[in-house]
């Protein structure tokens, strides 16, 4: 690592990346390559001798970028956003520069302490209950993804109950969610050894906006208890992946209290909106939760990856995940005066991810972050109005944040035909390279999901996207 070589090359790389952003609208948003394309372009083995950065960057342009789907394009409206920003980028760069591995406090005290401080800041911004702050028995930790956050709290809850009832009870533990809960719950259950028949994904209804009904939870729990099973864990969602449904936290939380069930709230995407006072009510009832998660790398300008997890009782997590080998022993850890984040996560090693979240909060400030969110929601609202004005289309679920769920709905056609038509519409707009959207299925209907959330998206992009939908719809309807 030669400092002058770094300076020279990193300046070139920054120029390259800045130009990438400058030209980002010229690329097809969804990569149009075929599987295996890269093997045909690159040599079979690594070079024996060093090559120049210039040669590598040329190949990035000719071979790599064609195989990139441009998540930062202002015309990206698929899945959920994965924001980058100047502040997030700078934090990521500094983290790469320092490149420490912060598993224990002693391995870089600043990494642990900054993480505690910024997660307390963010918890206060979201008006989370005091028991999630690092000063008490709880606290926050940055995980890689919402899936990891969910897995570690499920493990903590499992072990806490098994300590009380004995390890043989594993087969009797039951986990609850809804049919809209993210698939990471199923994966976490598979890893945690929850019996496949003991995952209850309770049915939601359109008339209920696809939110989990407290009655159906109570019914399922009563039934399980009567069958000799042990209710363990509920994952509620604020902003489901398909349609951004919001589960009623307060009512669900009361039920979990009554039965001693661990209550986790997944707000991976929509948590960001709750920094705005007018959206905070979606978290009402969060005081009942044992753990809460939000992805700063989705809609909070923090480059991937940065998933914030808060837990009410950190000991539950530590009892599941801590190890204490001789080669990691040190005075601070033995004295129990510090947090060792290795005991809050699956890997040992961890990056200095709090730097980028800290940079985002400091370089933008809360007011800018709030207007950032509000602007996207306003653009989504605008798109929703445009859709509603065209009688050939239908809005399928009430818009709550920046996702609009809609479909093309010609009259007098079978559901099967309409599903195929919307599938074709999705293919048509995505293969144009002009925008990228994704889909879902709700109540058997194939639905188009249009999410506003890329940092560069402006009103003109939303309007152009809508024109594209209209044109593609006209041509599909004419040819059918
Ligand atoms: C995106 C998302 C997840 C999964 O996020 P990862 O961080 O990729 O694991 C889970 N739950 C919800 C509600 C999401 O929107």
| 436 closest CA partner among 27, 20, 18 | 27
Cα dihedral angle (298, 303, 306, 307), rounded to 10 degrees?
Answer: 0
**Residues ≥6 apart with Cβ < 8 Å to 26:** none
Contact status, residue 303 vs residue 91, Cβ threshold 8 Å:
yes
Contact status, residue 310 vs residue 292, Cβ threshold 8 Å:
yes
Write out pLDDT tens, residues 448-458.
999 999 999 99
Please tell me the distance from the alpha carbon of residue 143 to that of residue 34, in angstroms, as a whole number: 33
Q: How confident is the model at residue 480 (pLDDT cuts 50, 70, 90)?
A: confident
* Ligand 1 centre distance from Cα of residue 147 (Å): 6
pLDDT at 232: 98
Strand order from edge to edge, sheet including 307-311: 139-143, 307-311, 291-295, 262-266, 230-237, 173-178, 199-202
pLDDT at 141: 98
Q: Buried b vs exposed e over 401-417: b needs ≥16 C-beta within 10 Å?
A: bbbbbbbbeeeeeeeee
Please name the residue whose Cα sits nearest to atom 5 of ligand 1: 146
Write out pLDDT tens, residues 30-47.
999 999 999 999 999 999
Q: Buried b vs exposed e over 165-198: b needs ≥16 C-beta within 10 Å?
A: eeeeebebbbbbbbebbbebbbebbeebebeeeb
Please tell me the distance from the alpha carbon of residue 464 to that of residue 169, in angstroms, as a whole number: 57
* Ligand 1 centre distance from Cα of residue 268 (Å): 5
Count Cβ atoms below 10 Å from residue 125 Cβ, excluding itself.
16
Please tell me the distance from the alpha carbon of residue 260 to that of residue 167, in angstroms, as a whole number: 18
* Ligand 1 centre distance from Cα of residue 84 (Å): 17
Q: Using a 6 Å cutoff on CB, does residue 356 contact ligand 1?
A: no
* Ligand 1 centre distance from Cα of residue 324 (Å): 31
Q: Using a 6 Å cutoff on CB, does residue 147 contact ligand 1?
A: yes
Using DSSP's 3-state secondary structure scheme, residue 320 falls into helix
Pocket test for ligand 1, best of 144, 146, 186, 243 (most atoms within 8 A of CB): 146
Is the confidence at residue 70, as pLDDT, over 90? yes
Ligand 1 atom at minimum distance from 240 CA: 13
Is the confidence at residue 427, as pLDDT, over 80? yes
pLDDT at 24: 98
Write out pLDDT tens, residues 127-145.
999 999 999 999 999 999 9
| DSSP 8-state code for residue 391 | T
Pocket test for ligand 1, best of 152, 244, 268, 403 (most atoms within 8 A of CB): 268
Please measure the distance between the N-terminal and C-terminal CA atoms of the chain and give it in whole angstroms.
62
Ligand 1 atom at minimum distance from 148 CA: 9
Q: Buried b vs exposed e over 341-368: b needs ≥16 C-beta within 10 Å?
A: bbbbbeeeebbbbbbbbbbbbeebeeee
pLDDT at 31: 97
Please tell me the distance from the alpha carbon of residue 295 to that of residue 304, in angstroms, as a whole number: 9
| 145 closest CA partner among 309, 272, 25 | 309
Tokens of 399: 């818009």
Instruction: Give the Å distances, CA to CA, from 294 to 21, 163, 200, 239, 297.
Output: 27, 29, 23, 11, 9
Pocket test for ligand 1, best of 269, 283, 302 (most atoms within 8 A of CB): 269
**Residues ≥6 apart with Cβ < 8 Å to 421:** 408, 410, 413, 476, 480
**Residues ≥6 apart with Cβ < 8 Å to 37:** 66, 67
Q: Using a 6 Å cutoff on CB, does residue 243 contact ligand 1?
A: no
Write out pLDDT tens, residues 245-266.
999 999 999 999 999 999 999 9
Write out pLDDT tens, residues 142-160.
999 999 999 999 999 999 9
Upstream peptide bond of 203 is cis (omega within 30 degrees of 0): no
Q: Using a 6 Å cutoff on CB, does residue 268 contact ligand 1?
A: yes
Is the confidence at residue 336, as pLDDT, over 90? no
The alpha carbon of 205 is separated from its chain's Cα centroid by a whole number of angstroms, namely 24
Is the confidence at residue 211, as pLDDT, over 80? yes
The average confidence (pLDDT) of the chain is: 97
Please name the residue whose Cα sits nearest to atom 4 of ligand 1: 146
Q: How confident is the model at residue 226 (pLDDT cuts 50, 70, 90)?
A: very high
Cα dihedral angle (450, 455, 459, 461), rounded to 10 degrees?
Answer: -60
Query: Domains of the chain, with CATH numbers?
Result: 3-70 (1.20.1340.10), 92-361 (3.40.640.10)
pLDDT at 95: 98
Ligand 1 atom at minimum distance from 267 CA: 13
Q: Angle at CA 193, nearest 5°, toward 172 and 252? A: 60
Q: Using a 6 Å cutoff on CB, does residue 31 contact ligand 1?
A: no
Tokens of 417: 């035909």
Q: Using a 6 Å cutoff on CB, does residue 182 contact ligand 1?
A: yes
* Ligand 1 centre distance from Cα of residue 146 (Å): 5
Contact status, residue 310 vs residue 138, Cβ threshold 8 Å:
yes
Tokens of 193: 């050894």
Write out pLDDT tens, residues 371-418.
999 999 999 999 999 999 999 999 999 999 999 999 999 998 999 999
Count Cβ atoms below 10 Å from residue 423 Cβ, excluding itself.
13
Tokens of 83: 């924001």
Mean pLDDT value of segment 198-204: 98
* Ligand 1 centre distance from Cα of residue 107 (Å): 30
Pocket test for ligand 1, best of 178, 191, 238, 241 (most atoms within 8 A of CB): 241
Ligand 1 atom at minimum distance from 79 CA: 1
Q: Crossing angle for the helix pair 354-389 and 109-125, nearest 10 degrees? A: 30
The residues pairing with 176 across neighbouring beta strands, listed in sequence order, are 200, 234
The string of DSSP letters for 41-87 reads: HS-SS--SS---HHHHHHHIIIIIGGG---TTSTTB-SSS-----HH
């Amino acid at each position: 690592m030669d400092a002058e070589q770094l300076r020279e090359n990193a300046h070139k790389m920054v120029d390259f990346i800045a130009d990438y952003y400058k030209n980002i609208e010229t690329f097809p948003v969804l990569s149009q390559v075929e599987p295996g394309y890269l093997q045909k372009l690159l040599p079979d083995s690594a070079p024996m001798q060093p090559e120049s950065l210039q040669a590598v960057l040329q190949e990035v342009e000719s071979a790599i970028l064609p195989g990139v789907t441009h998540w930062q394009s202002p015309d990206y409206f698929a899945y959920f956003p994965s924001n980058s920003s100047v502040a997030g980028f700078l934090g990521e760069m500094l983290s790469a520069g320092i490149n420490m591995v912060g598993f224990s406090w002693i391995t870089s005290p600043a990494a642990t302490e900054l993480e505690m401080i910024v997660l307390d800041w963010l918890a206060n911004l979201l008006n989370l209950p005091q028991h999630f702050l690092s000063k008490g028995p709880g606290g926050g930790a940055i995980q890689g993804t919402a899936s990891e956050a969910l897995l570690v709290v499920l493990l903590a809850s499992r072990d806490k109950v098994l300590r009380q009832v004995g390890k043989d009870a594993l087969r009797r533990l039951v986990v609850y969610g809804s049919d809209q809960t993210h698939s990471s719950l199923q994966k976490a259950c598979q890893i945690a050894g929850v019996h496949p028949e003991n995952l209850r994904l309770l049915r939601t209804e359109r008339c209920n906006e696809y939110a989990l009904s407290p009655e159906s939870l109570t019914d399922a729990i009563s039934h399980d208890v009567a069958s000799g099973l042990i209710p363990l864990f509920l994952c509620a969602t604020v902003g489901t992946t398909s349609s951004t449904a919001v589960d009623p936290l307060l009512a669900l939380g009361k039920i979990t209290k009554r039965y001693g069930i661990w209550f986790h709230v997944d707000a991976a995407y929509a948590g960001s909106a709750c920094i705005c006072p007018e959206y905070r009510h979606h978290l009402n009832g969060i005081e009942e939760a044992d753990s809460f998660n939000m992805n700063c790398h989705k809609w909070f300008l923090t480059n991937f990856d940065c998933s914030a997890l808060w837990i009410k009782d950190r000991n539950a997590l530590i009892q599941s995940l801590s190890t204490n080998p001789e080669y990691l022993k040190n005075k601070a850890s033995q004295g129990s005066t510090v947090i060792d984040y290795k005991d809050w996560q699956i890997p040992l090693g961890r990056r200095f991810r709090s730097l980028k979240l800290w940079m985002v909060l400091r370089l933008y400030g809360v007011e800018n972050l709030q207007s950032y969110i509000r602007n996207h929601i306003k653009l989504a609202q605008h798109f929703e109005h445009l859709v509603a004005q065209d009688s050939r289309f239908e809005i399928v679920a009430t818009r709550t944040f920046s996702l609009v769920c809609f479909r093309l709905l010609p009259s007098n056609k079978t559901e099967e035909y309409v599903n195929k038509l919307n599938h074709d519409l999705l293919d048509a707009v995505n293969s144009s390279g002009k925008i990228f959207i994704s889909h879902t299925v709700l109540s058997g209907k194939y639905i188009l999901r249009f999410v506003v959330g890329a940092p560069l998206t402006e009103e003109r992009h939303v309007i152009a996207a809508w024109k594209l939908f209209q044109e593609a719809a006209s041509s599909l309807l004419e040819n059918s």
